[in-house]
Structure 1
Amino acid sequence: MLNSWKAVAGALLLATATAVVPVSPAPALAAADARVDVDVRAGLATAGDVAVGVNHAIWDSQLGTPAVADLLGDAGVTMVRYPGGSYADIYHWETHTAPGGHVAPDTDFDTFMAGARRTGAQPMIIANYGTGTAAEAAGWVRYANITKDYDVTYWTIGNENYGNGHYGSAWEADDHADKSPREYASNVIAYAQAMKAVDPDIKVGAVLTMPGNWPDAIVGTGDQGSWNQEVLSRAGSVIDFVDVHWYPGGATAAETLTKPAQITDAVHLLRQQLRDFAGDTSGRIGISMTETNVEIGRNTQPGALFLADVYSGLLAQGVFTVHWWNTHNGLGTVSEVAGQTDYGDYGLLSSGNCNDAGVCQPPLNTPFAPYHALSLVGELARPGDRFIAAGSDNPEITAHAVRRKNGDVALLLINKDPSVAQSVSLKYHGFTPVSGTPTVATYTNGAAGVVTGPAGSAATQTLAPYSISLVTLRPNPVAGTAPAAPGKPAATVTDRGATISWPAGTAGLKYEVYRQNGGAAELLGETTGTSLTAGNLQPGRRYTVNVVARDGAGRLSASSPPLTFTTATPANAGCTVRFRDVNDWGNGYVGQLDITNNTTAALPSWTLTFDWPTTWQSLGSGWNATWTQTGTTVRVVGEGALAAGATIGTGLVGNYSGPNVLPTVFTLNGTICTSA
């Protein structure tokens, strides 16, 4: 019909030159619901060879079976953890017993190793701290790596040993009379020395708490600091990595799906603790996350969306392995979530059991929704692939991306809206994709598996409600060879600037320095030298930068490793503020502010302002001043004058529901103060 209309219009135009034929305007393109930016110039961490992990447990009769090993291998699992959570602190490997717990047949260490090898995964072994000894752990290393030549590299000392009653809650077995972090640190040293005496090439990890999760920042009776502070300051010199767990909770599925936004700050705080308490200035100590899961939608789509977001976010921040709890776990409270039956099961795979009401799970080893999300993460985070910055302007859409070693870009898109499809406009920086229809692997709510095929374009994708899509994009070919990526930069900072330097590459290169800013990096400057001074930075702000090299033909290198630094506050300001967390209870704290007038003139009145660094922090109450909060800004109005050279103290109760990043920038009567 369209062709017939064109023929009639052409005949009319030929018949009368003066006739005007109205032309209907082209239909307006629908505005995209979200814009996602991807920037290859803003590099993050590189996925290692143990990035994608899961837990195995000795009470799981399917542990190490060929069917399960193959399912895990198909999902891209590269690390498996044994013997399973809190059971690790009652498990004795030589006798294959766990007094007080159930040990399923055919779940011994050798069976586990056979399954791990079939999967193609490295093991993460938990040495028994709660009821074991350093000698027992050393014997396990000897059996694994000397007798059997399994070459097991990663060994953690205990599971959640802060849950031994020292802070009031006791779920973790601990036979030590002293249950303090000081005692745990002392034993970590003994374990590490005994185990490395057998095999000096192993890596030993200590258990810490995730910043923002109980009992982070709580100081127990008789302790000099929190669990993390005590363990790191005493045992930091002998460990190779720290191990954390994260169950962030959430009253609803929607709230749970906001929690991955906390990852960058949580990992930043953990690394800050490593630097402050373990002297880890070079990043010698790695971070593993060996348990995470949700409370709502564990085996339906909320769990799948959470898994995809959390694994990708943690790996992008340099956590070297992330593990779901669990492979099998068993039937829990049955409910309906997003139109699907949820069995309240922490497992990736169905245990095939029934409850007393006659409700039964699907057949044994049927994959649940998080398994399919795991398979997409396994495809995204292949060993050697480099995470790159990706950002969305819509809170319902989360994006993660990697640049593969062959130059391809893989983009993981998550639609957290349970009922509305989202049209996404894709913008690329430093990368030009081949035009055409890309290959997209998608997992949708209630689907039996991932569906792969051509969809959308490199510029636009439509995401089904509650879905995960992995888009693979090939680059337009460029003649010649691009320069090598610059080495990791370093920075010297002031309150308003930073001098960034990096190792020299080949001659004739121009270097560009980018500041990460969501998915579209900001150019700070360019030079033919090997350093650049960036000005106009904000005091007390965290920045992450990358350096890229460009040759004379315009070819752009991959980015340098990222560098994160925080600018200082003014060194000799007219005021000084010291902010301290003096008493913490896990989701709130008493904060003390000491404000000093460094000038020679009294302040007849004073107002102090600061901003909370995150949206999950808030003011509870305050004293010795009038405290108010608007948005994320806190305003403190003094009750009297502040004399020259004098210090006044004031305090608050602060609340938090995530990593508690303390404010560092304070303004007194319009002047930015020195932070002590």
Structure 2
Amino acid sequence: MILTVDTGNVVRKGADSFIGINLNYIRDEDANRPKARPLVDALKQLNGRWLRYPGGEKSDFYSWAQPPYDKPSAQSIGEYADYPGARMDFDAYMKVVQSTAAEPYVVVGYDSLKRTGVTKEDWIKSAAGLVRYANIVRKYNVRYWEVGNENWHNGTATPTEMAGIVREFSEAMKAVDPSIMVGSSGSDKKWWSAFLPAAAPHLDFVSLSLYNCYNWKSYTYFPQNLRSDTIAQVHEALESIERFAPPADRARLKVVVAETNSKDYTDNWKDKNNLGHALVVFDTFGRLMKEGKVQAAMLWTTRWINDAEATQCQWYALDKDNGVLPVGMGIELWGRFILPEMIQVRGEKESIVAYACRSSDEKRVTLWLLNASTSATSTVEVRLNSSTTFTGIKAFRFGGNSPDDEAPALQAVSAPLLKDQTIPSVVCGPISITILQIE
């Protein structure tokens, strides 16, 4: 197999500021694991550039402060009030953001009165109060704000009703700070077709949750269907913007993948924290990065509720000591090696998927070679189509014994030969990612 890396063909600028992760304000506070390394150290290792707070559905059962909304006092309501843990309040979250130089992304809660016991009017007052506190009082300059979590879910509202609710939120929040970017979620074409005509003028982006392994049954679906569209839901959202949003709003609207993970919601492919899930997570982020109108994508999640289950559940990027678990490696493999500009790779076939990034001056390139096969080793010739003359390589391999391996490892390996802008032979073992740093 011959792969050509076109360093002059830039697919995305700002690739190194694309990937992020959801936090869990209920469980992420360092006080909940006093013997662990600090959360900030773990996030720096992952190098995710966006931090979504306070999390997913829990955002709709979260009170950031009490009226008159002048001081954070994180409280959980509804069923989430029963979960143990010292809560991470808004100032503590922003301290994490500042310590990691990440982009803050805040979900302001909204769900029905029936589900939460909170009126729409009070949700809007809380949201506007948080914008005021964050950007006027504390000068945090939080730019990205999502109204509610997965509003298409749990009977929150119809898409038409939600469009009106989003308008009210957006107007109230932008009255406080007109510079902010406001987004809201959707699920499929049926939702977008009813939601976007009225909502789009009041939005700057739309968000969605991408769980793209429905009914896969096992990891083997991945190598057997490697060229299938595993981000079809994103393509549907992009197409819906062009079809259903008013023409004046289409060009400026972006998509944010607020949550993603390799979950099979039929539970046929068990949600273990293992190499197979890590490889799919890694590949999903690579595919999303190629989409120019996708603003960002964030892994679900640092952790769920019970640290004791972390090594056995894919809802944990981090373990009880804030060590990085296999699913977390799905973003660390990007964060550790990524460069500012994603570039084109041509010639993929068989079980190999390839991604590449370069430095802005074109003097450094990172190449990732994912071999999805469970059994076959592939040998790849890499040709570097570049005006830069490259002279050195460092090589790393991430892999394990099987897709079910719960302790895959990333390690340095012997670098392949580089001669005359060609790497004649890169041996890619099964179920692995080979990373080449080329200078």
Answer whether contact 2:19 2:49 (CA < 8 A) is retained.
Answer: yes
Match of 1:321 among 288, 293, 296: 296
Structure 2 counterpart of 1:470, which letter? I
Answer whether contact 1:425 1:461 (CA < 8 A) is retained.
yes
The residue identity in structure 2 corresponding to 1:343 is Q
Instruction: Kindly provide the amino acid, as one letter, of the partner of residue 376 in structure 1.
Output: L
Between the aligned partners of 1:53 and 1:396, the Cα distance in structure 2 is 27
- Give distance in 2, aligned partners of 1:84 and 1:48: 23
Deviates more, 1:445-454 or 1:192-201: 445-454
Contact 1:441 1:469 in 2 (8 A): yes
Counterpart of 2:161, as a letter, is E
Q: Which has the larger radius of gyration?
A: 1
Pick aligned residue for 2:205 from 241, 244, 268: 241
> Normalising by structure 1, what TM-score?
0.54
Given the two structures, how large is their TM-score scaled by the length of structure 2? Answer: 0.82
Q: Partners of 1:63 and 1:398 in 2: how far apart?
A: 38
Does residue 38 (structure 1) correspond to residue 9 (structure 2)? The answer is: no
Structure 2 residue aligned with 1:347:
316
Tell me how far apart the structure 2 counterparts of residues 141 and 236 of structure 1 sit (CA, whole Å): 21
1:84 to 55, 65, 70: 55
Query: Is structure 2 residue 193 aligned with structure 1 residue 229?
Result: yes
Q: What SS does the aligned partner of 1:442 have?
A: strand
Quick one: which amino acid aligns to residue 187 of structure 1? I
8 Å CA contact 1:70–1:118 kept in 2: the answer is no
Asked if 1:293 is matched to 2:261, the reply is yes
Letter in 2 for 1:459: P
Q: From 256, 265, 274, give the equivalent of 2:241.
A: 274
The 2-side partners of 1:465 and 1:329 are apart by 31
Q: Does the 8 A contact of 1:421 with 1:462 survive in 2?
A: yes
2:151 is aligned with what amino acid? N
Deviation at 1:140, TM superposition (A): 0.7
Q: Deviations over 1:85-115 (max 9, x none)?
A: 1111111111422222136214111111112
Matched letter for residue 261 of structure 2: N
Where do 1:136-155 residues align within 5 Å? Answer: 136-155=126-145
Once the two structures are superposed, what CA deviation does each residue of 1:1-34 show, in whole Å capped at 9, x if it has no partner? xxxxxxxxxxxxxxxxxxxxxxxxxxxxxxxxx3
Q: Matches of 1:160 and 1:393 in 2, distance apart? A: 35
Alignment partner, residue 306 of structure 1: 280
Q: 1:160 aligns with which of 150, 163, 188?
A: 150
Q: 1:75 is matched by which residue type in structure 2?
A: L
The answer to which structure has the higher helix fraction is 2
Classify the secondary structure of the residue corresponding to 1:425.
strand
1:200 aligned residue: 178
Match of 1:271, SS state, is helix
Shift of 1:203: 0.6
Task: Please report how far the alpha carbon of residue 439 of structure 1 lies from its aligned counterpart in structure 2 after TM superposition.
Answer: 0.9
Structure 2: distance between partners of 1:332 and 1:252: 25
Higher relative contact order (CA 8 A, sep 6+): 2
Amino acid at match of 1:159: N
Counterpart residue type for residue 305 of structure 1: L
2:221 counterpart residue number:
255
The alignment partner of 1:253 has SS state of coil
8 Å contact from structure 2 (residues 42, 323) kept in 1: no
- One-letter amino acid of the counterpart of residue 326, structure 1: T
One-letter identity of the residue aligned with 2:91: D
Q: 2:299 & 2:274 partners in 1: Cα distance?
A: 14
Show the 5 A alignment for 1:329-344: 329=304, 343-344=312-313
Q: Which residue of 1 aligns with 2:71?
A: none
Which residue number corresponds to residue 432 of structure 2? 467
Structure 2 CA distance, aligned partners of 1:259 and 1:98? 41
Do the aligned partners of 2:314 and 2:327 also contact (CA within 8 Å) in 1? no
Give the 5 Å matches for 1:154-553.
154-165=144-155, 174=156, 179-209=157-187, 216-217=188-189, 226-249=190-213, 250-256=216-222, 258=225, 261-263=228-230, 266-278=233-245, 279=247, 283-295=251-263, 296=269, 298-318=272-292, 319-329=294-304, 343-351=312-320, 364-382=321-339, 385-407=340-362, 408-430=364-386, 434-435=390-391, 438-445=393-400, 449-452=409-412, 454-457=414-417, 458-474=423-439
For residues 110 and 100 of structure 2, what CA distance do their matches in structure 1 show? Answer: 28
Could you tell me the percent identity over the aligned residues?
Answer: 26
Q: Secondary structure at the match of 2:75?
A: coil
Aligned residue number for residue 59 of structure 1 = 26
Give the number of the structure whose residues are more often strand, by fraction: 1
Q: CA deviation at 1:405?
A: 0.6
Aligned CA distance change for structure 1 residues 62 and 418 (closer, same or farther; 3 Å): farther
- Asked if 2 retains the 8 angstrom alpha-carbon contact of 1:421 and 1:463, the reply is yes
**Partner residue of 2:69?**
none
1:558-577 deviations in Å (ceiling 9; x for gaps): xxxxxxxxxxxxxxxxxxxx
Equivalent residue of 2:128, what SS? helix
Any unmatched runs of 5+ in structure 1? 1-33, 166-173, 210-215, 218-225, 335-340, 352-363, 475-676
The answer as to 2:99 corresponding to 1:123 is no
- Give secondary structure in 2 for the equivalent of 1:139: helix
Give the direction of change, closer, same or farther, for the CA distance of 1:189–1:239 in structure 2 (3 Å limit): same
| Count of aligned pairs between the two proteins | 394
Check the 8 A contact 2:275/2:408 in 1, yes or no: no
Q: CA deviation at 1:256?
A: 4.3
| Counterpart residue type for residue 142 of structure 2 | V
Which ranges in structure 2 are unaligned for 5 or more consecutive residues? 67-73, 112-117, 264-268, 418-422
Shift of 1:141: 0.5
Shift of 1:144: 1.0
